[in-house]
Structure 1
Amino acid sequence: MDIRAMLLAAFEAEHREHLGAIRAALAAARAGAAPDWNDVFRRAHSLKGAARAVDLPAVEDIAHRLETLFDRIVEGAQPLDRAAEAAVTLALDRIEGMVAALAEVPEPALPQDAAAALDRCLSGSPAAAQPSAETAPAQRPAAAPRPAATEVTPAPRPAEAPHPPSAETVPAPRPAEAPRAEPAEAAPAVLRVAGEDVDRLSRAVHDLSLALQSQDEIGGAVAALESGGRALRRTADALRERAGEVSTLSRRLREAGDPGAAALDAALDLLRRLDGEVRAMVRGASGLARTQHRAAGTVEVAVRRLREDADRLLLVPAETVFGGYGRMVREIAREAGLPVEVRLEGLDRPVDRVLLQALKDPVLHLMRNAVSHGAEPPEARRARGKPEALTITLSVSLRGGDLVLSVRDDGRGPDIPRIVETARRQGLIPPEARPSTREALRLVFAPGFSTAERVDRLAGRGVGLSVVAEAVAALRGRARLRRAEPWGAEVIVTVPVSAARRPLLLVEAAGRIYALPGSATARLLRLAPSDLVPVSGLPHARVALDGREVSVPVVPLAALLGGPAALPVEDGRVRAVLVRNGADLCAVAVDRLLDVRPSLVGPPPPIGGDPGLVSGTVLLADESPALVLDPAGLVARSAEAGGRLAALPAPAARSARRRTPTILVVDDSITTRTLEKSILEAEGYRVFVCVDGQDGLDRLRRDGAQVDLVVADVEMPRLDGFGLLRAIKEDPDLTRLPVILMTSRGDPADIRRGLDLGADAYITKQKFDQRELLDTIGQLL
């Protein structure tokens, strides 16, 4: 990172602090309190100097005007009236917007609306035309001239170095200024670390955690060594008891002059030496077992703390994502001519940054929705005793294991009769239904629902709250709308913090990648065939776990998912994952153990997932999806596999075919076509993919001779599945090509239409089973 990038990173954090303090002072003034205007003046002054240091003249210029205005307020020469407050708010928003857009616009232009608004406030005093030397910004000889202000033009002064500040940049002492108390203790040091680096650290710690599970195996081996030593010692004790008899016999032989006495004496010496060595070995084994047990406990505690600390590094203040929402909502309201006050509460809460990113768009939708549906005419607000400006509050809190986001407004509130009427008109409820208030408020999250009278930039498209509902459901959370007290509406979003990211173990089975929750992974196993014994027709292995040996079934993961039943063996070993679900265990055999990574888990896919085994999906590094398997389903399915597993058919040999059949998959959903491609390739087919019907038709007309079968979605842009099917059947070169239609539309009329057009099979995604697809393809080929 170059020096300017480092300075900009520091400025980005510093400017947020200054803007937050100035906005807090404005809010205090609105509430009737007396803000510390001296501190506000210094904030504007510091902001100006910081902007100069990173060479942002537009920010510096606006900060200078703010500084001049606050200087007047401190001196009592100008009040903070409504116009001044609006000008300051606009200026702060423009500064925040310029800094947020530095990646796209590294040299932002002076925002004329903010400059003009501040100049209008400053024009009421003669001093405005000649700001003091303490507050005037430095002139840059090489910079392009700034646009002339509408009424006030700051006087230039000689350029100065940003560090250290010269006497001109320091505001003059003010007699009335009270000394500021020093903080009781220094704030913690803050380091800026790339998110990718933190992810890598967390991933390495979880790798270490899994690798150290081998301590269980070592502990079991040491315990076995100690047990064997004790057995050997018992044998040595029995030999020592017999040694007395041998010693008596040796003495008699010596008295009789028998030369065999010397051999017996030598054997007795060896026996005594062996007894001593066995006792020493047993003491060593016992000591080693105690040391290993203590070391394993210490390492386990250290790794657990390290894992907790690494996971904590993934947390960032909610302000990093939601901090700019106040500016964005005020800008939206300005364009609509609506006065709005935005309050942001609890943004200092540390939250997983991936979870915050997942909630970024839904929260913005909620705030836009609050503006569009909560706004009232000023006279209506005054008649009800409300302030003229609509107040929207975004609050972030952590309650137990949940992240709670609330978007509240003091506007008109939910119109229950209108909601019910709209729901009836859209067919969401029967005409005779009389839903309760709570039931009616749930209707607003339905797709396409909107009570807006017209479509504009703010409302009427019916996507806002349905987007919220879908995003929150994907995070295993919930959203609800309620009336706010005393006025307005509030949407509360509750999402489990654990939904942010979960440690996942990636494995490969039958050519496809799957993910297992790290919390359910008890051990990683490498088993020799001799380690497996049949129990009730199912291979079992004895493994050490929690200081004891347990017998667990070993089942091919591919077999549980409807694939090959044979145990995968590589280099003479079976690689397996010991999966734990409460007190139940099973070992799933896999082809390869790939990786451990914390990832955001999404909902299960529409097709390709067994509801009893699949709990979600995760995107891999190449953006392809992988199924997340449910530990409870794996354990239950493995318990049911006995007696059936050996009867599963072996995969058909493809070598007898003249060539590998080629299948064209046509679907506009990347998730669906990727899953179908994975299923078919795992079965040995060659697969082409196309993104819509027109793309598929073009591919067939170019490479149709290589394609043996088409699997196509029905609902696609440009050319849908019915149109593709019709074009295939009307083309003499393609008419004999088998076509399978796959769609979420299970309407009998649609199925009949597809079959009438010449489809060879019609499979609905709701009832999708990969074996059905593979069996259908096998029959058609």
Structure 2
Amino acid sequence: MEALRQELLAVFDAEYRDHLRVVRDILAAGPMDSRAIGEVFRRVHSLKGAARVVERTDIETIAHTLESRLFRLLDAAETVTPEDLAAIGEAMDRIDSCMQDASDGSDDADPFPTPQPVPPAPLSRDDGAESYVQVPVSRLDALVSVMHDVLGASARQERLWAELEDLTAAATRRAGPAGAVAVDPAAELARLTRALSALARERGRIAGQVDRAMLRLDEEVRAVTLVPAGTVFGSLAGMVRQIAREHGTGEVMVRLAGMDVRADRRVMQALRDPVIHLLRNAIVHGQEDPARRQEAGKPAVPVLTLSVRMVGVRLLVSVADDGRGPDLEAIAARAVRQGLMAPDDPPVPETLLALVFAPGFSTRGEADRLSGRGMGLSVVAEAARTLHGSVRMEIGSPWGTVVTMAVPVSQRQRTILMVEVGDMTIGVPGRVIERLVRVRQGDIRVVDGRTYFPLNARRDPQTDAALVPLVPLAAFLGRPDAGLPVHDGAREGQEGALSVVLVAMDGVRCGFAVDQMCEVRILQISDAEAVGLDSALVPGVSWPRGDRPVFVLSPDTLLDRWRKAGATGGHLGGAPGDGPGDSPGGGTAGGNAASRRTPTVLVVDDSITTRTLQKTILQTHGYDVVLATDGVEALSMLHRSSHRIDVIVTDVEMPRMDGFALLDAVRSDPRLSSIPVVLMTSRNEEADIRRGLEGGARAYITKQGFEQGDLLDTIRGVL
């Protein structure tokens, strides 16, 4: 049950962010009409139900109070007042604050903790819980399109082989009986040459189609893992306003820009705390007397700007204020006192502004809860370095301060074998490694000028059945003259043996010799460019030890380069168990078992958290489950799906078509009317229950005090 709870909490985390984003977008759009109020009401209602599922009573209470206020506005068709808008925004901020406190692991965490000089949280979860992201339908459509291209190329490849076989058969027939010449040899050679040239051109076109499809597939898969910056940073505006009020600064205006920029969620999540430090720092150091602001022509209310933008493969996150700007004289004086610069060093602005990121550096005379200890900016710098990026401070234009963090846009976690090649540490992805072997000098074979080694040399030294190509990995890393010790070149200290990484992909084996094998580790791989190396061969870099990079290879590119270098052989045989006689008795397990069909339940709910909970419960108890987000999607699935639906479990409050309307549609359709419908909703008013049962629902379950046994007993009862 704890695993299920962690999964539901992860789903709820994604769902609540989506609801808050939509509500805040509606608030930012200006005056709200009845349609906008209705959308906010639906979002808050769904959020309340999802919070109940994960037992977040604090959020459920906030949502319930706001829902009641929104219902009165809808019911009386009243004009939305500024007080109503403020109440909606404050409720969103409170919900987000509750979630952030929970993510910090404490229900009563200090809302303004002192920054500490520790590295940012790791980019991967170690609590066993999954995280969820929402993927636009357009992205899924693009992936489907790419797969169609790949399947099309595969079909063309099959036709190409069929044409080649037909050509071979025709040439055999035209040659006539052994010793006879049925056709003119020159004419036949010319005909075969033309046919083979046409096939070669078609093969080239197919290869081009596959290459383009694989590039698109790589781009689309990467895009699916990216999320808008607003999902991580969008909630900070309310937090900043609360910090300013608590600090006594008064009101501040927070502007967000570039929240639609998409990047790796783990990267942006790792930047969240540093961004909060920067915003706190801006509140304190950007303070100015109102009269001075007016004299300088600044807005009466201080303005903080958080912007996100993409430059190449770098994500730039900036925090700017319109305050008094950096005090270069104070920075220089502090740097001299701390021994960071000599008294006679020229006060170059760029140099001075780089010093503020040193640990313990602060120009404030006294510390308070927000700043003055000199830790905040050093934490920001450490976070940027951990992500293999950089940070800089600049004087704003026309006033204020701008701090920008630039980091690689993506971080990917991979299991990597670390090996030494010359003075470099190379990473080989574990997914392509078949085995690690030590090849003795006496076992190395040279066949037609190429180097091989036998995999089974120690078991059967007399057979060459498992000869595998052997090449130095260094030859693909800018050292084309690198060679192998074939007979008398055994490496010192290695007992006359080579360390070989056996890579297997797409039915091909190749052994790559390295100087030394180090260890296998799970590493965070960034898109940072490996200076001096081919970016296609080395598309990622990791820094597990801080000062020594690991250059992570692309195995696809490596094997492609090896093939283009003229490599041959090494084809994999069938894996054990692939043969037709591997299954005892030649049958499948359970072949004599009764083919009783598993009942299928259609779950309809606009809350992903509720859908996940019901799906898990039902699948655990042996049901097949189909999911829909509202009545419109459910009806479409009922009319077009190949699934036979045995029972429908639906929420009532949903967009486009609610549960009552779905119930009416099912009951009025002769093809669907026999399917039992169970209404499961938080609407527990007697009128709603009577309306559902009189409308044809077989059961009405309220979500308050929900027990999974109620749902299972109800479904068993209606089937």
- What TM-score results when the alignment is normalised by the length of structure 1? 0.45
Structure possessing the higher radius of gyration over alpha carbons = 1
RCO higher in structure (CA 8 A, sep ≥6): 2
- What TM-score results when the alignment is normalised by the length of structure 2? 0.49
